[in-house]
Amino acid sequence: MLTSLDFIIVGAYAFALLGLALWVSRGSSGYQKTTQDYFLAGQALPWWAVGASLVAANISAEQIIGMSGSGYAIGLAIASYEWMAAITLILVGKFLLPVFLKLDIQTMPQFLEQRFDHRVRQVLAMFWLAVYVFVNLTSILWLGALAINTMTGLNQSLGLVLLGSFAVLYSLYGGLRAVALTDILQVTLLVAGGLMISWILLDRIALGEGAWRGFEQVMLAAPEKFDMILAPSNPHYMSLPGLSVLLGGMWIMNLSYWGFNQYIIQRALAARSLTEAQKGIAFAAFLKLLMPLIVVLPGIAMFVLEPALEQPDQAYPLAMTLLPAGIKGLVFAALLAAIVSSLASMINSISTIFTLDVYAKVAPNQDQSHLVRIGRSVAVAAMLLAMICAKPLLGNFDQAFQYIQEFTGFFTPGIVVIFLMGIFWRRMSSAAALTAAIGSAVFSLALKLGWPALPFIDRVGLVFLLCLALSILISLRGNSRASAGGIDLAAIEFKTQPSFNFSAVVVLLILLALYTTWW
């Protein structure tokens, strides 16, 4: 697929990224990085780095290829994952970030110990480490290598090793600072490449009359692809069950991912102030509004151009074959940017949780430089482990993205209950938190086996309600007073800047316009 010009462009991107990472990672002569420097970028990230890094960490091969495939099969309705994330980010910035930054936490498990006890911290820390290594990191590696194999013919195992090695190479020395400050390059490339492929496909549909004319023709040729709320008769209703998408379980999934996920929230915790973090959150929300143009629209356009593909996930790779030389290299570099940024973000979060929540507890009183070395060693070890496990875990799955959703969806409802109740209800007990975590898995498995016709999103919402009721019951039976670790919300400043409030209103109005237009 790629010409010499394309390979030159991809090579230029790789060298530019490495050079930028080394430049932003530099420090004063003789200065030894602390854990705050390495894991939280010295808590000095500006808003644009926070926002860009949030989106760069989120968008990877499974989003670009998988959501384009869903756009091909389902249509614009799959964009709800992106658009609802925008309003979720605003809620996180308004109601959750002030709490986390006031408590000056470095990790999500640390918050759980402050609010509950060390048992809750250790259980959730080990859970997140297992998920990050054996679900998230392996899936990003596997799907990224699969994408490279499809587009270049490179052996998938070799592609997997190259991706992992490159991600470690540019992020290992500088830690989160190297990842976050280079993500502005990654996001710029991702947005530019994504918009370019959409423009070219639409212009091709319009026979050279422009992208807007092509968009009009797509709407005329495939109007069913622009239904945002699917009816029960729709063959894809199980994936996106109508109004439940807007009113049910997707809120739980989004809150868990954007609000309580170390892999994501670590960027906001590293901001230089609450105001900067909230500006970054608002910036990320606007970028999420833009994402369907990059990850969904190409799939819909390919449905019009090639309506008989055997597999929907072939849509994006096939779309790339239609691009001219040079542009193809730029778009391929954008795809690589999304993959390596997610890989680097993931290994940084793995090393953060292991070092601060596990190792520092069993080996206390270690100096800062020792902890940083442990963090770097863990990052390398996690990547090697994921490389070894990627094929055995994912090689037999037709839809690796579904594997991710199903596994994490078993635990998501309980995690949201633990954090929301832990923050906003002072009587939530440690026993109730542990019960919610266990109950989430038990209820999810029972519903999956006993009610297989229940859509995945609806199951997440129902399990959330069950865990919520169970945690309230156990808390009320266990104590009649506020927990000792309960958060004094009166001491938290929830008032936000006018610029943030304006951004929130604009995001909400854009979402209302989008859903009203394509209801």
Could you give the CA distance from residue 260 to residue 420 in angstroms, rounded to a whole number? 9
Weakest-pLDDT range from 56-70, 285-299, 392-406: 392-406
pTM higher than the cut 0.85:
yes
pLDDT exceeds 70 at position 395:
no
Q: Which of 13, 64, 84, 23 minimizes the C-alpha distance to 457? A: 84
- What angle, 0 to 180 degrees and rounded to 10, lies between the N-to-C axes of helices 498-517 and 80-91? 160
* Paired residues of 336 in beta bridges: none
Could you give the CA distance from residue 80 to residue 86 in angstroms, rounded to a whole number? 10
**DSSP tag of 32:** P
- pLDDT over 90 for what percent of the chain? 76
- List pLDDT tens digits, range 270-298: 999 999 999 999 999 999 999 999 999 99
Q: Could you tell me where the DSSP H helices lie in 172-210?
A: 176-205
- List pLDDT tens digits, range 137-178: 998 898 888 888 877 888 989 999 999 999 999 999 899 999
- Do the Cβ atoms of 388 and 71 come closer than 8 Å? no
Confidence class of residue 408 from pLDDT cuts 50, 70 and 90? confident
Count CB-CB contacts under 10 A for residue 235: 9
> Hey, is 162 helix, strand or coil?
helix
Q: Could you tell me where the DSSP H helices lie in 74-136?
A: 80-91, 97-102, 108-115, 118-131
- Do the Cβ atoms of 9 and 329 come closer than 8 Å? yes
Q: Could you tell me where the DSSP H helices lie in 208-260?
A: 211-221, 244-247, 249-259
pLDDT exceeds 60 at position 401:
no
Spell out the domain ranges in the chain: 44-400+497-517, 410-487
pLDDT at position 168? 95
CA angle 387, 390, 392 (to 5 degrees): 125
Asked if CATH classification 2.60.120.260 holds for the domain at 44-400+497-517, the reply, yes or no, is no
pLDDT average, residue stretch 441-451: 95
